[in-house]
Structure 1
Amino acid sequence: MARSILEKAKAADLRPKSTAAKRLRAIIDRAKALFKRPSWHADAEVQRHTRLMEESIERGDWLAAKDHALALGELGERLGDAGLVKKAGRALRRLHGGNRTWQLIAASKRVSGKAEWDGSDLAGRTLLVDRRAGDLAIFFQFASLLGPAVAAAGRCIVFVEPRLASLYRRTYPKLDVRVEGDEDLDAVGADVFSGFETLATHFWPDDPAARVPFVPLRPDPQQVAELRNKYLDHGPGPLIGFAWGSLNKSKDLPALEDWRGLLGRLPGQFVSLQYGDVGPALSEFKRHAPGRIVHDTSVDQLSDMDRFAAQIAALDMVVTISNTGANLAGALGVPTIVMLDDGFRLSWPAFGDTVAAYPSVRLIRKGARGWAPALQKAADLAKSIMGGSHHGQ
């Protein structure tokens, strides 16, 4: 299944839609929404808080939405409903729910029969960490937590997605990095177990001063230097990475005309970080920024994540939609602007422009104004972040 998904991603033509095509998509999505049924639960209090939370989200009343999400978490715990606990935790993740977010998500992912780490002394003990469920972004958002886990435990083992093994081993030489699916978790002889969110409950308390510091992932320095020099051969910097398309059809993405404003307002070279069949889109972008679009066929992010990390680290900054590359750029500490639509489903905060897990990331939302002014704001913010100077020239 994983291979078929990767092959689909490699072949996908993800060029930005025109404004007219986006209008048609919106009409189809509204029609589909008419047939969606609201979620159901036997408990009246659950129904009430779910409805009130959704209504609060709809009108942007984040404080009220957070209160109802907290109530749903307590109800889920009381009812022993792991699905409800997870739903509440995921909502709080978008609502700046603090440590309670990770408590709930960790509880929903706990594995029966395995001793979950409770924050007690790990000296002389073997801790095994695995993701249990979730997408690739988990390995980026929580990467900084492996350092303190390694320091605390007699031995720390982590199971990662195969493409990330080299990146993790380079960042944490004392971490025992294993590849998901290569062996049974029970066979490694761990004393205690932990999901990444369990680590967060202990290392990311509500007090910012007590939170473990961000530590960027370490790409291959030789590849970083090689790629940076290669891109600067195309012309003077800064080097700005960008990505525009997604296989997720529910995302509201900037149209081609919207990107034109950003390309025209920023100096330097634009390096494609987009997966899929990028040819059709790049031919359009090259018309708006002739001689300034770089497509490096030596980088295949879908099969070689280590080289993709080096590519991102070779850049001065990244401007992108929400995707794996946005999370990786944040985990590498590269200055990054992430363009977000107005959907609540994304794994980014619903309000504010910063992300606690990624200090170098800034968020810009579409809002009611549309994408063109949002991308203009992104261009202005990019100029401000780069400070009018860059080391690529």
Structure 2
Amino acid sequence: MPSRRSILKKAKAADLRPQAVDGSWLRKLLDRGRTFFRRPSRHGDQSVERHLELMARSVERCDWQAARDHALALGLLGEKLGDRGLVKKAGRGLRRLGGGNRAWQLIASSKQVPGRPEWDGNDLAGRSLAVERREGDLAIFLQFASLLGPVVAAADRCTVLVEPRLAPLYRRTYPALDVRPEAEGAAAVDADVFACFETLARHLWPDEPTARAPFVPLEPDRRLVAELRGAYLAHGPGPLIGFAWGSLNKSKDLPALDDWRALLGNLPGRFVSMQYGDVGPALSEFERWAPGRIIHDASVDQLSDMDRFAAQIAALDAVVTISNTGANLAGALGVPTVVLLDDGFRLSWPAFGETVATYPSVRLVRKGGRAWASAMREAGGRVAQTIGGAGDGS
């Protein structure tokens, strides 16, 4: 498996201009997304196999209610059979399908560590709690950050193990939180009870929206936010709109650079690149469509300094981006954001609708079987509504 250092080195050097795809390649991509639930059952259980097959068919025809019903059934079967993998897969599917609190119950139970006391939602007064992700990508720390407030207030001491690049954001947002790098490991933390982030969601995000722990945006370095915003507005009047277009993930169907032409040409203000990698070739093309309005800040490197990247995003009036870490970070910061989604069944975002419960400021624009140019026009319209009366922002 490549080291994190080698992956970052590759990402920094990559020219991530999206490549055109032919119809057969795209069909294969969509097929992979729609077969998320197809898996051989190690139990040979016919009920499992039947629900897996019906689940896959439901996803393929976008029958989300039926897909949710089969995911619920798979969760119950996974619990009955003691199959943690099936429980996790059902929970992750339900999360995409509007499965409510049941999604968190299933994912949390699949992540429990044997022999370690898991928080059961009871009073934390006089007790210490340690929170960790256990597995999953960086987005987990962004999607669930709001849940730390209630437990920090309730526990005698709350420790959280985080990806080191996010430690400054966490410490600034929750000064009473004991933030430690993940490398230390939960085994080195002295706590009465433990929890993964989904355990927090299970107890603090019930089905009733009015009872949910409220969204709390992460707190960027405000001095740096003001510094970056001032530097960007020195290029000309705002609004400031962040954008990102490329990914190392070759399974994504992404808008071609030319699909950004109308969006860049029709919106006012400056466009700030949030893209990692070798952005030079793409920016040269964008500059032709929005001459003098493209900003690339080489002092911001999201791959090594997430805090400065967060300050850059917080300095913006709006963001329009493909699905990536920047989209999640913008949502966690509460910055108005439009996320462009292809038609794959992806785990990061809801399978339907335009809102995201964990990020109130995010709106989703789905390709929906259209040409990307049509989806980009919709995205441009949403950004225009968002920036509304935004001017120079000073």
Indicate the SS of the match to 2:361: strand
What whole-Å deviation, never above 9, does each CA across 1:189-217 have from its counterpart, x for those lacking one? 11100000000000100001100100000
Partner of 1:355: 356
Q: Distance in 2 between matches of 1:137 and 1:294?
A: 26
Partner of 1:135: 137
Superposition deviation, residue 388 in structure 1: 3.7
Tell me the amino acid that sits aligned with residue 256 of structure 2: A
Q: What pairs up with 1:41-52 in 2 under 5 angstroms?
A: 41=41, 42-52=44-54
Superposition deviation, residue 24 in structure 1: 7.2
Partner of 1:370: 371
CA shift in 2, pair 1:175/1:119, >3 Å: same
Tell me the amino acid that sits aligned with residue 265 of structure 1: N
Unpaired stretches in structure 1, ≥5 consecutive residues? none
Partner of 1:39: 39
Tell me the amino acid that sits aligned with residue 70 of structure 1: L
1:317 corresponds to 2:311: no
Is the Cα contact below 8 Å between 1:6 and 1:302 reproduced in 2? yes
Q: Distance in 1 between matches of 2:347 and 2:270?
A: 29
Q: Distance in 1 between matches of 2:315 and 2:263?
A: 21
CA shift in 2, pair 1:43/1:373, >3 Å: same
Partner of 1:66: 68
Q: What pairs up with 1:81-230 in 2 under 5 angstroms?
A: 81-181=83-183, 183-230=184-231
Per the normalisation by structure 1, the TM-score is: 0.95
Identity value in percent: 72
Q: Distance in 1 between matches of 2:308 and 2:145?
A: 18
CA shift in 2, pair 1:367/1:27, >3 Å: closer
Partner of 1:306: 307
Partner of 1:22: 21
Unpaired stretches in structure 2, ≥5 consecutive residues? none
What whole-Å deviation, never above 9, does each CA across 1:145-180 have from its counterpart, x for those lacking one? 000010111100000001001110000000000011
Q: Distance in 2 between matches of 1:26 and 1:371?
A: 16
Indicate the SS of the match to 1:301: coil
Q: Distance in 1 between matches of 2:26 and 2:344?
A: 16
Aligned residue pairs, count? 387
What whole-Å deviation, never above 9, does each CA across 1:11-58 have from its counterpart, x for those lacking one? 1110132xxx3227826947997xx99521111101100111110110
Indicate the SS of the match to 1:311: helix
CA shift in 2, pair 1:253/1:318, >3 Å: same
Superposition deviation, residue 121 in structure 1: 1.1
Q: Distance in 2 between matches of 1:28 and 1:60?
A: 15
Tell me the amino acid that sits aligned with residue 40 of structure 1: P
CA shift in 2, pair 1:73/1:30, >3 Å: closer
Q: Distance in 2 between matches of 1:27 and 1:74?
A: 34
Is the Cα contact below 8 Å between 1:16 and 1:281 reproduced in 2? no
**Which range moves more in the overlay, 8-17 or 63-72?**
8-17
Tell me the amino acid that sits aligned with residue 233 of structure 1: A
Q: Distance in 1 between matches of 2:23 and 2:97?
A: 31
**Which range moves more in the overlay, 256-265 or 200-209?**
256-265
Q: Distance in 2 between matches of 1:30 and 1:198?
A: 33
What whole-Å deviation, never above 9, does each CA across 1:308-359 have from its counterpart, x for those lacking one? 0000000000000000000000000000000000110241001000000000
Partner of 2:295: 294
Per the normalisation by structure 2, the TM-score is: 0.95
Tell me the amino acid that sits aligned with residue 26 of structure 1: W
